[in-house]
Structure 1
Amino acid sequence: MDQLLAGLLERMNIEDFVDVFETLVWKLEDNGEEMFTVLSEWLEGDDRLKIEAALNSNGGFIFSTNLEMSTAFEKLVHRYPEFRELTMDILRRWDLRVQE
């Protein structure tokens, strides 16, 4: 799955990648669970394009819980401070979604 998603990302811009990703989530039998795992692994890597794609896919909601997301984002921002604002925005939107 990593090769498939990485191949898609190489061939298109992030916005198109996100559109394809979100379509695949609904089409796959596991509702994209394996793809979400790949994106969470991308956050641990060194490829900024993959990190940006992961943070933009599914509105940045690539984890099941706020704790998982917060922990991953904290590690990411420690390595790449330039993603702080985006990760904070995702966490704020998560909190708003939970309050609804």
Structure 2
Amino acid sequence: MHDLTGFQRDLLYVINGLDDPHGLALKAELESYYETEVHHGRLYPNLDTLVDKGLVEKSSMDRRTNLYKLSARGHRELDARREWEQQYLRETISAA
């Protein structure tokens, strides 16, 4: 997970949070978060990278639409990231 970009990590979180997400749903969700357009040339190569790394599984819904879901490894990586983040969030919260 440490070798992913922030955008790729955000993709993992969004894929995890949506039911049967497809490219356009992921694009819309990220555009809402970033408050700017996410171009296809950014989205799909990053999705392919996550698939190539074994973090995401890609399947076809129809001839034009692919569905994405986290692989078992993707879930483990997100859980590990959450645990790592949590140790620093607890310190921040308790210091406040």
> Does TM, scored on the shorter chain, surpass 0.5?
no
Q: In proportion to residue count, which structure has more strand?
A: 2
Where is the helix percentage greater, Structure 1 or Structure 2? 1
TM-score by length of 2: 0.30
> RCO higher in 1 or 2 (8 Å CA, sep ≥ 6)?
2
- Kindly name which structure, 1 or 2, has the bigger radius of gyration based on alpha carbons: 2
TM-score, scaled to structure 1: 0.29
